[in-house]
């Protein structure tokens, strides 16, 4: 998660003191999509989609998509 935090902060033009994963789901593709609910402030959450390529490609995780303005109770679904 710490590897995609700078990319997320750049995309939303914000800096976050809190950046804690609360829950995640995975989807196996030609690598793995991680859907991660992240707490970014006391009551605000974001959903991140992070792609991790196959080990043979030797690349780190990358942020693919995100949704902001989420709550702790919002379901973590494909986006």
74 pLDDT more than 90: yes
pLDDT at 21: 95
Give the phi and the psi of residue 55 in degrees, each rounded to 5: -55, -30
* Number of neighbours of residue 70 by Cβ within 10 angstroms: 18
10 pLDDT more than 90: yes
Percent of the chain exceeding pLDDT 70 equals: 100
- Angle among Cα 16, 54, 75 to the nearest 5 degrees reads 45
pLDDT at 57: 85
Encoded tokens for 74:
């919002």
55 pLDDT more than 90: no
The contacts of residue 47 (CB under 8 Å, 6+ apart) are: 35, 36, 37, 38, 66, 67, 70, 74, 76, 79
């Amino acid at each position: 998660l710490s590897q995609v935090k700078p990319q997320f902060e750049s995309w939303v033009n914000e800096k976050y003191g809190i950046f804690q994963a609360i829950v995640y789901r995975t989807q196996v593709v030609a690598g793995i999509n991680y859907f991660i609910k992240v707490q970014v402030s006391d009551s605000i959450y974001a959903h991140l989609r992070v792609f991790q390529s196959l080990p043979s490609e030797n690349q780190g995780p990358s942020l693919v998509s995100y949704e902001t303005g989420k709550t702790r109770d919002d379901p973590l679904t494909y986006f």
